[in-house]
Amino acid sequence: MISIVDLVVNLLALVMRVGSAVSRFPSRLCRLARFRSLATGRIPFSTQLDGLVHVAGRPRVELGDRCRLGRDVFFETVGEGAVIVGEQVRINAGCFLVSYARITIGRNCLIGEYASLRDADHGIDGPGAIREQAHRSAPIVIEDDVWIGRGAAILRGVRIGAGAVVGANSVVTHDVPAGTVVAGCPARVIRKRGEPAGSAGSDSPKGP
């Protein structure tokens, strides 16, 4: 038999669930409006924001339909830089996307938590302090249906082919062939998708 206390607790839980569901819609609208106010470009109504998005300046961001951004995703564009994202892309919490040239992400991609996509870095061979040297930039292109694991770093000038998988905490310094699994620092091909794990050799590190 349900006690009075249990009944009261159940009723309170029901009220809280209903209240939470009702409050989600205005919260979503507020987050979307805030993001649009901070950035330039297309941020459609179908964008789902799990929390606040952070920016530096007023970044140029173009999102496809039905994208989802985790909390504390960060955008920055400098000069002619832009971040162009296809439809149905999931960018998880804490990711950094910084563009001096252009970052293009295809459709149906998954980007794990705390991944970093930066299409520029400091020069290191000129005179003076590194921080005072000009940036070198080259576009990053991520084709459709790519999965980038948690904590991976994608560096300037890299193209990741369609259907590729990048292992967690990998550092991608060169192009990734379509349909392959890469991992490591620097990242290298472990196998092709559809092949048994370890088929590239018994000394190969495990993929995602």
Angstrom distance (rounded) from CA 184 to CA 188: 6
In 44-186, beta strands by DSSP E: 48-49, 54-56, 61-63, 68-69, 74-77, 83-85, 90-91, 96-99, 103-105, 110-111, 116-118, 120-122, 135-137, 140-142, 147-148, 153-154, 159-160, 165-166, 171-172, 180-184
CA angle 37, 41, 47 (to 5 degrees): 75
Question: SS3 of 94, please?
Answer: coil
Enzyme catalytic residues: 122
Beginning with the edge strand found earlier in the chain, give each strand of the sheet holding 187-192 in spatial order.
48-49, 68-69, 90-91, 110-111, 147-148, 165-166, 180-184, 187-192
Q: Which of 149, 176, 145 is nearest to 163 (CA)?
A: 145
